[in-house]
Amino acid sequence: MLEDDSDCSQLLELYKNVAMKQVFSHPDVEQLELQGYRVISGLLDIYQPLLKLSLEDFSELVAQERVRRLPIASRLYQKLSTRHRLAYVEAVNKLARTAPEFALMEYYYRCRLIQDYISGMTDLYAWDEYRRLMAVE
């Protein structure tokens, strides 16, 4: 943005320093940041079984939405929003299945599916989801 010795640049730097010292370093703000980190990390851990599935198993899950031999993965997949699941399917369908990088790109889109779902949650929804799935209610 402004990276020179102008008055505006110096004023901007002053505002940044005040914000870091007076706002973002406040114990209440730091506590919220640490709680948010734990919630997001916890949700990523919870959805990790979907990332551990083989390409074949995950493809079967996407096609059928529930696979009896994958009960936890099926339940987790069902919790993902339809919008995010459809975006994943659309992205993967654009890939050439015979391309050498297909498996890598499919996994990338699978990671994005979970990442986009979690990052789209409001703070309150993420907290509630974390508590429900961690059985701390």
DSSP, res 98: T
Please report which helix (H) or strand (E) contains residue 42, including its range. helix 27-46
pLDDT number for residue 137:
63
Chain centroid to CA 18: 31
pLDDT number for residue 67:
96
Task: Quickly count: other Cβ atoms within 10 Å of residue 2's Cβ.
Answer: 12
CB 131 within 8 A of CB 137: yes
> Which parts of the chain have pLDDT scores under 70?
1-3, 24, 137
pLDDT number for residue 102:
97
Question: Phi/psi class of residue 78: alpha, beta or left (left: φ > 0; alpha: ψ in -120 to 50)?
Answer: alpha
State how far the alpha carbon of 77 is from the alpha carbons of 27, 38, 73, 100, in Å. 37, 22, 6, 26
Domains of the chain, residue spans? 7-133
